[in-house]
Amino acid sequence: MAEKPHMNLVFIGHVDHGKSTLVGRMLLETGHIEQHIIDKYREQAEAKGKGSFEFAWVMDALKEERERGLTIDVAHKRFNSDKYYFTIIDAPGHRDFVKNMITGTSQADAAVLVVASPEGVMAQTKEHVFLARTLGVGQLIVAINKMDATKPPFSEERYNEVKEETTNLLKTVGYKMDNVQCLPVSAFKGDNTVKASENMGWYKGITMLQALDNLTLPEKPSGKPLRLPVQDVYTSTGVGTVPVGRVETGVLKPDTKIMFMPSNKVGEVKTIEMHHEQITQAEPGDNVGFNVRGVSRNDIRRGDVAGPVDDPPTVVKSFTAQIMVLNHPSVITAGYTPVFHCHTAQVACTVEAIQKKLDPKTGDVKEENPDFIKTGDAAVIKVRPTRPMVIERAKDFPQLGRFAIRDMGQTVAAGMCIDVEQK
Amino acid sequence: MGEVAITYRILPETTDIDLKELGDRVRDVSEGIGKIQGMQEKPIAFGLTALLIRVIIEDKEGGPDEIESALSGISGVQSVEVMDMTRLL
Ligand SMILES: Nc1nc2c(ncn2[C@@H]2O[C@H](COP(=O)(O)OP(=O)(O)OP(=O)(O)O)[C@@H](O)[C@H]2O)c(=O)[nH]1
Ligand SMILES: [Mg+2]
């Protein structure tokens, strides 16, 4: 049988809202935890005189399983639905990992936002929603969890309150509700995860597993123009200049001319290798090295982006961005010049103007031209790089339009480019 | 607090660098910062081979900064790239 289509699924949400428990529940109920592990825990619990099967054992079993060590290739939990196979990314909670989410990891195809119904939207819920949007994750499942723990349990009223609160937040950052599925679950008890819940007769919608099957596979960005951020440049005797990097969009082919920006150098791709083997073309996600004629090692550098000569990467004079301040000790005002980490580039950029402050509750503009913004604020700003830099509109190239802002050894903010003024 | 597993791709400065020795230096500097849970040589192109490592660190303030600056500071290392990252269950 042909392998099912693959999706990267990122789990996000506030601390303790039940991300791990929901992953564990899905693994168990889709048959992705080995039976002998479950049996072992069942036996142990029975020996201790606890009769019935406890879901908590499953979580212990999963912890123990990972202690035995995972290889580099099997870093992720995976499970299948009818339609897809999923690999799970559980997003780190601390904001100091945001830089790596933005510049490092591969593109997530969909996100599961876990919101505990007794608490509702919390600080990290907001950060993670903003992050998902910045990462270009278009589809979202909102699992309103711990429905067994509302007062009274399985309260429809509470579900609707939390749903509305979450929906408002999602609209603020620009989610279209057509691409969002909200549903009530109890990850711990197993309500509405794989089977419809008997405790929520008022809910007529789909289960978590059905929501996963309803996701659509995002199109591979191979139809877009080539964008390949350069990680490093080598020289190899007899081969010449060899840039190394990951194709983000488009296709890299031998015997084509490409342009490196902002270095503004044109070269001809001769051969492309991946895993030391020659390939006839490199697609999005491929980590490759290739030799180029007409470009010397010192002509180009890390932070350059390769693209077609007739549609080269955009070098900006300035750009407009939507950002969220994650962690700044005081306030950000016009004139602030931190370092922007965008694809493989790190460039000091000046915040020229703070144009709007946004209200995370309603999505409305809270203030035009505010004097300052601080931790927790979302804003639209105008930015001017202190030296030439490639950045694209996130709408066109999500991988090249998102960035983390770093200052004094910390990730201060994250955001995405919404408009560019070309150089 | 939980733990985060990060897979890094370490590129050497040149193709002549001995990756076994580089791997030893990686283990040395990581001691006390994170737990190395896997290491593997990964051929890239034209004789260039990268070192893939999987490090487990705490999900807390500071994040990956300490391990990344330690790895970047190793002699023979050209660059350190995040390939993959997830919390452990
Ligand atoms: N009552 C109830 N408790 C739950 C449910 N889901 C999770 N919990 C409990 O909530 C606590 C946190 O659950 P986790 O799954 O560890 O939450 P998390 O989001 O992964 O937390 P972090 O990884 O620390 O951010 C645990 O004690 C769970 O047993 C649920 O549906 N109902
Ligand atoms: Mg967790």
pLDDT in tens, B3-36: 999 999 999 999 999 999 999 999 999 999 999 9
> What's the rounded mean pLDDT across residues A254-282?
97
Residues of A whose CB is below 8 A from B40:
72
Q: Which atom of ligand 1 is nearest to the CA of A13?
A: 19
Write down all domains in chain A, each with its CATH number in brackets. Answer: 6-213 (3.40.50.300), 221-308 (2.40.30.10), 316-422 (2.40.30.10)
Structural domain boundaries, residue B8: 3-88
Measured CA angle at B64 (ends A382, B75), to 5 deg: 105
- In percent, the amount of chain A with pLDDT more than 90 equals 76
Q: Which is more confidently placed, A63 or A329? A: A329
Compute the distance from residue A323 Cα to the ligand 2 centre, in Å.
Answer: 26
| pTM of the entire predicted model | 0.92
pLDDT value, residue A70: 56
Residues of A whose CB is below 8 A from B9:
287
Q: Which of A37-51, A253-267, A394-408, B55-69 has the lowest mean pLDDT?
A: A37-51
Q: CATH number for the domain including B83?
A: 3.30.70.60
Could you report the predicted ipTM of this complex, rounded to two decimals?
Answer: 0.94
Residues of A whose CB is below 8 A from B47:
236, 276
**Amino acid at residue number A393:** R
Residue A63 has pLDDT above 80, yes or no: no
Q: Which atom of ligand 1 is nearest to the CA of A185?
A: 31
The residues lining ligand 1, judged by C-beta closer than 6 Å to any ligand atom, are: A 13, 15-21, 93, 145-146, 148-149, 186-188; B 2
pLDDT value, residue A115: 98
Residue A6 has pLDDT above 60, yes or no: yes
**Nearest CA-CA partner of A316 in A423, A214, A222, A418:** A423
Dump pLDDT digits (tens) for A100-133: 988 877 789 999 999 999 999 999 999 999 999 9
The angle that helices A19-29 and A55-67 make with each other, rounded to 10 degrees, is 100
Residue A75 has pLDDT above 70, yes or no: no
- pLDDT grade, residue A361 (50/70/90)? low
pLDDT value, residue A31: 87
pLDDT value, residue A212: 97
Output the six-digit token pair for A355: 């144009």
pLDDT value, residue B88: 86
**Nearest CA-CA partner of B44 in B77, B15, B85, B13:** B15
> What's the rounded mean pLDDT across residues A180-190?
96
Q: Which protein residue has the closest C-alpha to ligand 1 atom 30?
A: A146
Residue A269 has pLDDT above 90, yes or no: yes
Distance from C-alpha of A163 to C-alpha of A190, rounded to nearest angstrom: 20
Residue B52 has pLDDT above 90, yes or no: yes
Neighbours of A363 (CB within 10 A): 17
Compute the distance from residue A20 Cα to the ligand 1 centre, in Å.
Answer: 7
pLDDT value, residue B81: 92
Residues of A whose CB is below 8 A from B49:
276
Provide the terminal-to-terminal Cα distance of chain B, rounded to the nearest Å: 11
Mean pLDDT score of chain A, rounded to an integer?
A: 91
Output the six-digit token pair for A232: 């490093």
Residue A358 has pLDDT above 90, yes or no: no
> What's the rounded mean pLDDT across residues A27-45?
81
Distance from C-alpha of A275 to C-alpha of B9, rounded to nearest angstrom: 13
Q: Which protein residue has the closest C-alpha to ligand 1 atom 21?
A: A16
Q: Which of A19, A21, A60 to mutate to test the pocket of ligand 1 (most atoms within 8 A of CB)?
A: A21
Are A212 and A87 a contacting pair, CB within 8 Å? no
Distance from C-alpha of B17 to C-alpha of B48, rounded to nearest angstrom: 10
- pLDDT grade, residue A173 (50/70/90)? confident
Q: State how beta strands B35-45 and B48-58 pair.
A: antiparallel
pLDDT value, residue A179: 93
- pLDDT grade, residue A261 (50/70/90)? very high
**Partner-chain residue, chosen from B46, B60, B88, that has the shortest CB–CB distance to A289:** B46
Output the six-digit token pair for A400: 């090249």
Is residue A152 reached through a cis peptide bond, with omega within 30 degrees of 0 on the bond before it? yes
Are A422 and A314 a contacting pair, CB within 8 Å? yes
Output the six-digit token pair for A18: 């039940």
What's A53's DSSP letter?
-
> What's the rounded mean pLDDT across residues A226-232?
97
Interface of A with B in 225-254 (CB under 8 A): 231-232, 234, 236, 239, 242, 244
Dump pLDDT digits (tens) for A289-325: 999 999 999 999 999 999 999 999 999 999 999 999 9
Do the chains contact at A75 and B42, CB–CB below 8 Å? Answer: no
- pLDDT grade, residue A50 (50/70/90)? low
> What's the rounded mean pLDDT across residues A383-407?
96
- The backbone region for A335, taken as left when phi is positive above 0, alpha when psi lies in -120 to 50, beta otherwise, is left
**Chain B contact probe: residue of A72, A232, A269 with most B CBs at under 10 A:** A72
Q: Which is more confidently placed, A36 or A372? A: A372
> Number of structural domains, chain B?
1
Interface of B with A in 30-89 (CB under 8 A): 37-40, 42-49, 52-54, 59-65, 78-79, 81-89
- pLDDT grade, residue A184 (50/70/90)? very high
pLDDT value, residue A45: 72
Compute the distance from residue A16 Cα to the ligand 1 centre, in Å.
Answer: 5
Burial of A49 (0-12, 13-18, 19+ CB in 10 A): exposed
Distance from CA of B60 to the nearest CA of A (A): 6
